A = this chain, B = another copy of it.
Amino acid sequence: MPTNRRFLLQRRPDGTPVAEDFELVSEPAPALEEGQFLIRNHYASLDPAMRGWMDAEGNYMPPIPLGDPVRASTIGVVEESRAEGFEPGQWVMGLNALEDYSIGVTGGFTQPIDPSLVPSVTNYLSIFGAVGMTAYFGFLEVCEPKPGETVLVSGAAGAVGSLVGQLAKIHGCRAVGIAGGPAKCARLTEKYGFDAAIDYRGKDEAALTAAIAKACPDGVDVIFENVGGIILDAGLMNLNLHSRVGLCGLISEYNTEPRGIRNLWQLIVKRAHIRGLLVADYVPRFGEGAAQMGVWASQGQLTIDEHVDEGLEHAFDSFMRLFAGTNDGKMILKIA
């Protein structure tokens, strides 16, 4: 039996997670029952949404039970199988956990993937995974961008945000991104093709509002929101009539009591709306989205950065990069 290192949730974080909320343990890999297969996890996706799963209330997913490994999307290889359709050696992806080995079941969420179709197998956790599909369906279906419109993206250097900016350009929009620090801002314009970048660091709400107004001289028609707080409030002050806010995330609030959004009255003035989006709703259409993203990527119209940290023993530090903003691209943990 190989050893299975597992990164367990031992205590529910109170605000910002600390290392003591988790524990890395070693157990024998589980034995298979009929209909199961053993997945050797190679890469795990680290996502802001995982923070919500650690709370007692849960969100769109049940909370991670205390003592269970932290839930995460992973890609790996079938090591052993007692399930039809999953042969040893097959690459798979699914919603598993931060651990060396996970159990898959026939008819579950785990599906075969083909590494030969993509430049890197990790792309299944970025451009062809939940991140890419969030950008694709969240932006194109929920925000309804039209050519010539101005699209404001917060968390624009992040995995989803950087893709949304590129999709905005593909759709003939002006793309303006908000990110933290000059290096990320340079990446927005130089690498992802944003028309303008705004560094939120050191800016209060009034300064941010003014910076957005300057970067968006025709106002803002679409906000793709990943952050919340004063960044969203400053965006709301720049909305055009009949504009749309796609609410993808509120990462500024995940570890603290929310400051609260104070400019909702702008929705009345501008007859605008804020609509929450969740990629899970589009699972039946992932094939369509992945095919289209693949075409654009192969044409050189879409770039995604992946930030790969190595080692399950660094799971905590890697996860916390998401909140410190020290990751450069889609955060991925290499397990094997």
Contacts and interface: CB of A to CB of B under 8 A. Distances in A.
Interface of A: 52, 59-60, 228, 247-250, 253, 257-278, 281
Given A260-B259, A260-B260, A277 B268 contact: yes
18 contacts: A59-B269, A60-B269, A253-B265, A257-B262, A258-B265, A260-B261, A260-B262, A261-B264, A266-B276, A267-B275, A267-B276, A270-B276, A271-B278, A271-B281, A273-B273, A273-B274, A273-B275, A274-B274
A278 B273 CA distance: 12
A276 B281 contact: no
Contacts of A268: 59-60, 247-250, 276-278
Q: Which 3 A-B pairs have the closest CB atoms?
A: A260-B260, A267-B276, A268-B276
A291 B247 CA distance: 38
Q: How many identical chains are in the complex?
A: 2
A319 to B, nearest CB: 19
Contact of A250 (B228, B248, B264, B277): B264
A140 to B, nearest CB: 16
A233 to B, nearest CB: 8
A329 to B, nearest CB: 23
Nearest to A250: B265
